[in-house]
Amino acid sequence: MLARMVDRKAGRAEAVLQADVRQFLLEGGLNLGEDDLTVEVDLEAQVGDGRRIDVEVGFTAIETKRDLRSTSVLREAERQLHGYVRTRSEQVGQRYVGVLTDGADWRAYNLAGEKMVLVSRFEAKQRTRPAELLTWLEGVLATAVGVKPTPLTIEARLGAGSVSHKLDFATLAALYEEHKDLPTVKLKRELWARLLRSALGAQFEDIDELFVEHTLLVNSAEIIAHLVLGFDVKTIQPSTLLLGQLFDRAQILGAVENDFFDWVIEVPGGESFVRTLARRLARFDWASVEHDVLKVLYESVIAPETRKKQGEYYTPDWLAEKIVADTVTAPLRQRVLDPSCGSGTFLFHAVRRYLEAAENAGRPLREALDELTDHVAGIDLHPVAVSLARVTYLLAIGRDRLVSEERGSIRVPVYLGDSIQWQQRTDLLDHGHLVIRTGTGGQFFEDELRFSEDLLKDAGRFDRLVNELADKAVSRSPSSRPSLASLFNRLAIAEEHRGEITANFELLCRLVDQGRNHIWSYYVRNLARPMWLSRMENRVDVLVGNPPWLSYRHMPEDMQDLFKDMSQARGLWRGDEVATHQDLSGLFIARAVQQYLAEGGKFAFVVPNPVLDRPYWSGFRAGDYPDPNEPVRVAFTGSWDLRRLRPHFFPRGSGVIFGRRMTARVGSGSVGNDPVPLPKTTERWTGRIATAFADWFHVRQWITRQDSELQYVREDLISSPYRARFWQGATIVPRVLFFVEEQQAGPLGLGGGRVSVRSERSSTEKAPWKSLPDQDGVVEKQFVRPVLLGESVLPYRLLSPRKAVLPIEGNATLLHGEHANIDRYPDLAKWWRQAEATWTEHRSSERLTLAERLEFHRGMSMQLPGTPLRVVYGKAGMHVSAALVDTQNAVIDHTLYWGTVATREEGMYLCAILNTPALTEVVRPLMSYGKDERHIDKAVWQLPIPQYDPHEDSHRRLAELGAAEAERVAALDLDESKNFVKLRQVVRSVLADSPHAEELDQLVRLLLE
């Protein structure tokens, strides 16, 4: 049938194709048919005015044409389809989708305002499997039922690549664009951005697309929450779905509530969108969930580039399951908190573990659920994560328990809040009050909501108080101020607090009048939670989770200052020179332990692997975090080294640390209260994980776990005098603005020592630079310089350098000081100013100018003028590769380190040492790493490599052998068009077979010993 549809042979009747399309849909397993249990497929459905839709399925109109390859036919078909979709949308009050097809070309359209927008396209061929087209069609039609929501089906049917997501996103984006200037929409966007900027720092991009994606994710999660309980979401009012009224009625509190993303139901067309979204999500059987599938939904919708930029990487289910099992050893007695819960992976397994233990102990369901929400809780500063985690919490409880008549009321204890609470110093906490600034008021005095900390002691009462204040402010008649006396009496509010509550109510009324309410109760209640949990009587027995890995260099300046101050106070700051290596995770753990963990309580956190052995983490590993208000001491009990697992599940190597909080020191000489540093022994995990969605039962069969010893890198043991003589090269990026290829000048030439150039492009370019057009022009030839990159260096040999336009004259650049006179060279000046404009327009959070970036850490000026002999080696790689540079004119890029040598013999001496496999073997444990030990940097100079001495026999011999190996490599006939990694492998293979290989290895090992 598909082969017949795909065939566009002349003479095919349109009616035949129309019938084939209908039959294909009916036979395709899409829950389509002619009975009450399926969706009908109608031919020639009446629209009105004599118009007929070729094939109508549910809320989709399909128009068939014999051949859409003609532009005129396509445009006329689109116009015709637009009329059908617009009419049907008006008739049924719900979004309609349009599909055009000639059997081979399938196009899905969405109505955005008055325009038809092509959202997705599928091209079928003779070899196309019918299942591929049927999957695409099901995403459009949304007619399947009972789909099991496994990670793979979630990604395929709801992920960013699915037609279902593209249709939903296109509709929602059009709604937002049309109504984004409404006060209520603007307010929610502002508060969303404020929280994410605090959570993610400079990596957060406040862009419309991300807000729309987050809205779609949260709306989806809230609808899924209803589906978990078995509600027929297709019959529920959209406002009821997003505001959680049915949950309130069912006494399931805190699962779905007013938030930043319910603006959808406040704008025209929003309810229609929610109905369509609900219908799409109702296809799945949400009662059969066995994973944190909302994590999968988030990761399949938000682009990997965005998640990487924001530092958002969620823990695999199997790892969270194992950590919870090893840490929560008495689930019925231990209270567990994940202070950075993300989508709720750790919560999912902690809830399951508690309920399993309760059932095994024979506890009644009502008692088990009553105690569950006091035993497992989560906090996160990301509003989308919190919404997803709340639904994940319900998924972990399961539909059977939630719908049981035996249960009582349930409060989902997942809170939106700042676990580290560093912003509260200036923003939330003021003289015993919770303070929320509203962004309104005069120029000098901003209106604030203020609540006494005493009101936070009873979390349930505080929530009811804030909710009722907000409801009264919204439901009152204009300009009236209802009495609060009955509320005060019902909630037993003390006289001393009534004045401030009345003032808060007055402010809420003003905010309603300004169109800036509907969100403050949610905002206040959630930000209060970390303060409540940090009270001594509310602290937990176990902390688990994956803290934020936000790098110092990606924090905004005000956050950097706070981070530095708080880290210094706790002995965690290792100096400005390693600031770029430090991140938030260590301070986050110290603060979480300080605020939320009871004395004697246990913790387990996923951390960047450098925590285990890098020198700049030594303060954290010591376990002693002084604080003037409440000093913290911990006893580390062990760690897991996970960096050798494949494939990597984070962009950097990871580990897990375990420990417990020490009891408070009573006095000097007290026993058992001293901190216990992280042990040097660790459990090293190796192996290959066959699938990312496995559980621990399967993963444990794929890995090997063995005791190992960490190799600490000590900053005070920098042994080689060469460390001070080697520098990193210049930061010549983004490369599209610098690196060029020379172009033909034309028959008349250019004259005057000028050359025509165009950007040299590479497949490794990153966004946004890879999508920019080439920069081309004419420059003075003296400014086109040879540049050596990391990929230019093989062991003992240099590949052909690249060419770059660089504003270098003699011993300095033309950008600074007395040489800042680039206008003496008009062609270069024009090129540079174009590059500067491009850089300024497209840089993200980068604050440096293009000139400052080129001169970052003096990377350019340090190598001017070029010296006759330099040794270079690659900054990164699994093996050290070094070569001698004897060209003064060459510029060294930041992907290389370089150092000047006095003689060729000294250069060969260093090359012999650096290129020997023994050197790589010894230095590898000292290397920093992302996914592997591949960041060489200056780690080699932490080895005792002595300065070359021509009077030392071993030094002279190494120089001789280095020269011999250099000649051997120079004689190789290498195809330089091949990838440099392959060429390095060829050279290393030749060197391994060299008659000098064994002697070199022995000499280097003796030298390092």
Task: Give the model confidence (pLDDT) of 56-111 as tens digits.
Answer: 888 899 999 999 999 999 999 999 999 998 888 888 777 789 999 999 999 999 88
pLDDT of amino acid 203? 64
pLDDT of amino acid 456? 74
Strand-pair partners of 728: 897
| 992: its two tokens | 């391994």
Q: How far apart are CA 688 and CA 704, in angstroms?
A: 10
| 703: its two tokens | 């890995």
Structure-token match 């509709």, residue found:
171
Q: How far apart are CA 412 and CA 244, in angstroms?
A: 13
| 953: its two tokens | 């026999």
Q: How far apart are CA 440 and CA 443, in angstroms?
A: 9
Q: Are 188 and 260 in contact (CB under 8 A)?
A: yes
The segment(s) of the chain belonging to CATH 3.90.1570.30 are 2-143
Q: How far apart are CA 321 and CA 348, in angstroms?
A: 9
Mention every residue, 6+ apart, whose C-beta is less than 8 A from residue 304: none
| 261: its two tokens | 């993303």
Q: List, as own/partner pairs, every contact residues 131-135 make where C-beta atoms lie below 8 angstroms and the sequence separation is at least 24, other chains included.
A: 133/2, 133/106, 134/28, 134/29, 134/30
pLDDT of amino acid 992? 92
Give Rg (Cα) of the chain.
33
Q: Are 887 and 863 in contact (CB under 8 A)?
A: no
- Output phi, psi for 342, to 5 deg: 55, -135
What residue type is 924 in one-letter code? R
CATH pick for 2-143 out of 3.50.30.30, 3.20.20.70, 3.40.50.720, 3.90.1570.30: 3.90.1570.30
CA proximity to 944, closest of 970, 916, 923, 969: 923
Give the C-alpha distances (Å, rounded to integers) separating 338 from 20, 264, 844. Answer: 55, 30, 32
- Output phi, psi for 239, to 5 deg: -65, -35
Mention every residue, 6+ apart, whose C-beta is less than 8 A from residue 791: 799, 895, 980
Sites in the chain below the pLDDT cut of 70: 10, 34-38, 198-203, 291, 303-312, 421-432, 439-446, 459-460, 479, 515-523, 525-527, 576-580, 664-672, 713-718, 748, 816-820, 844-846, 928-934
pLDDT of amino acid 729? 94
Q: Are 645 and 653 in contact (CB under 8 A)?
A: no
Q: How many CA atoms lie within 13 A of 122 on its CB side?
A: 25
pLDDT of amino acid 669? 46
| 1007: its two tokens | 């030298």
pLDDT of amino acid 422? 57
- H/E run at residue 414: strand 414-416
Q: How far apart are CA 527 and CA 185, in angstroms?
A: 21
pLDDT of amino acid 430? 58
| 40: its two tokens | 């009908």
Q: Where are the beta strands (DSSP E) in 460-560?
A: 540-545
- Output phi, psi for 606, to 5 deg: -80, 130
